[in-house]
């Protein structure tokens, strides 16, 4: 009971205690620059494996995604130094590379400014933010609707600067351990089949731009089995290969332990014969835990 009460009393700022300076890119950076930032920083444990970067621009020149107005300000003068206009994720990169926008050639696609690809994926149509004093329960409500990242305005690590940091779904889940439903249509054809591996947008993060073009014709299984072992893959010797994680009859607490210790975003649900039945995502975990906490709170007041 004490642990439930403690969790419900936590605030968003408690998720941000050990956060480092926000990794970002300017609005005029190319998509290749953004991918390079995620690749170089993502293979260093100290950088916490960057999979998305906020896009910063000069203030008052942009309307942020979804009409947002999130700025970094000078604490002494109060003047705005920069404005955050959106977040570019690995999924945006993949959507742009594979999209039919009239551009031919990977080089041209990767030369596009990051500001032009904000919102390629539905989550990027809005730039979400939370007050640091927002309760964990309210934060969980937002994250349970398919939102994976929110900016949290905090005093910066740089003197005299007030700016945002990034809170993620994983931060909330780790906190638990110390609605738009996610679309699972991709599982229709896979049900009752054997799960071989997981392929996600972040698999492309270790790719050099020069070699990515030659790898695009590969099927997904060939890519995840062969490419990460090649010297041309940036993360080949720096990041341990992710293991395939599945579960049969598993408690939610065990699933939470899996996603927080094994660097995974989803756990495949299989039957006793290892045949695919569905998946549990981070969004599912957030929604389930929040629902359980609310139910427990109601029971206490009955």
Is the pTM of the predicted complex or chain greater than 0.85? no
Distances (CA, A) of 48 to 23, 31, 78, 102, 239: 10, 21, 31, 36, 12
pLDDT values of the chain reduced to their tens digit, one per residue, 302 residues = 455 667 778 888 887 776 666 788 999 999 888 887 876 654 444 344 567 888 989 888 887 777 777 888 777 777 888 888 888 888 888 788 877 666 667 788 889 999 998 888 877 888 888 888 888 888 888 888 878 888 887 755 434 344 556 665 556 556 655 534 445 444 445 677 777 777 766 666 656 666 666 777 777 777 767 666 666 555 544 445 555 666 777 788 888 887 777 767 778 888 888 888 888 887 888 888 888 888 877 776 65
Which residues are 26's β-sheet partners?
56
The confidence score (pLDDT) of residue 30 equals 93
The confidence score (pLDDT) of residue 157 equals 43
Contact indicator for 255, 279 with CB cutoff of 8 Å: no
The confidence score (pLDDT) of residue 283 equals 80
- Taken in order of first residue, the domains within the chain and their CATH numbers are 2-171 (3.10.580.10), 185-301 (3.90.1280.20)
Quote the Cα angle for 121-127-129, to 5°: 140
The confidence score (pLDDT) of residue 5 equals 67
The pair of structure tokens assigned to 259 is 């996603």
């Amino acid at each position: 009971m004490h642990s439930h009460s403690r969790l419900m009393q936590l605030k968003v700022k408690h998720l941000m205690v050990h956060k480092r300076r926000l990794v970002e890119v300017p609005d005029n950076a190319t998509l290749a620059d953004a991918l390079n930032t995620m690749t170089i920083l993502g293979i260093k444990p100290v950088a916490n494996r960057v999979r998305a970067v906020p896009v910063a621009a000069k203030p008052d020149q942009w309307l942020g995604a979804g009409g947002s107005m999130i700025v970094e300000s000078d604490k002494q003068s109060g003047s705005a130094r920069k404005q955050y206009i959106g977040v570019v994720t690995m999924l945006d990169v993949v959507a742009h590379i594979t999209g039919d926008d009239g551009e031919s050639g990977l080089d041209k696609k990767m030369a596009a400014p990051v500001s032009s690809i904000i919102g390629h994926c539905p989550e990027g149509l809005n730039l979400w933010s939370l007050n640091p004093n927002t309760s964990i329960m309210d934060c969980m409500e937002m994250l349970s609707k398919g939102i994976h990242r929110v900016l949290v305005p905090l005093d910066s690590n740089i003197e005299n600067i007030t700016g945002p940091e990034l809170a993620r779904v994983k931060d909330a889940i780790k906190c638990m351990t110390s609605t738009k439903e996610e679309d699972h249509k991709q599982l229709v054809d896979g049900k009752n089949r054997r799960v071989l591996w997981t392929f996600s947008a972040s698999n492309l993060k270790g790719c050099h731009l020069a070699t990515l073009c030659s790898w695009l014709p590969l099927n997904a299984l060939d890519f995840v089995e062969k490419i990460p072992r090649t010297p041309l893959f940036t993360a080949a010797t720096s990041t341990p290969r992710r293991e395939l994680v599945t579960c049969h009859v598993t408690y939610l607490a065990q699933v939470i332990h899996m996603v927080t210790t094994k660097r995974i975003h989803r756990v495949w649900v299989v039957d006793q014969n290892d045949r695919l039945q569905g998946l549990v995502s981070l969004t599912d975990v957030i929604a389930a835990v929040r629902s359980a906490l609310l139910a427990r709170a109601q029971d206490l007041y009955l």
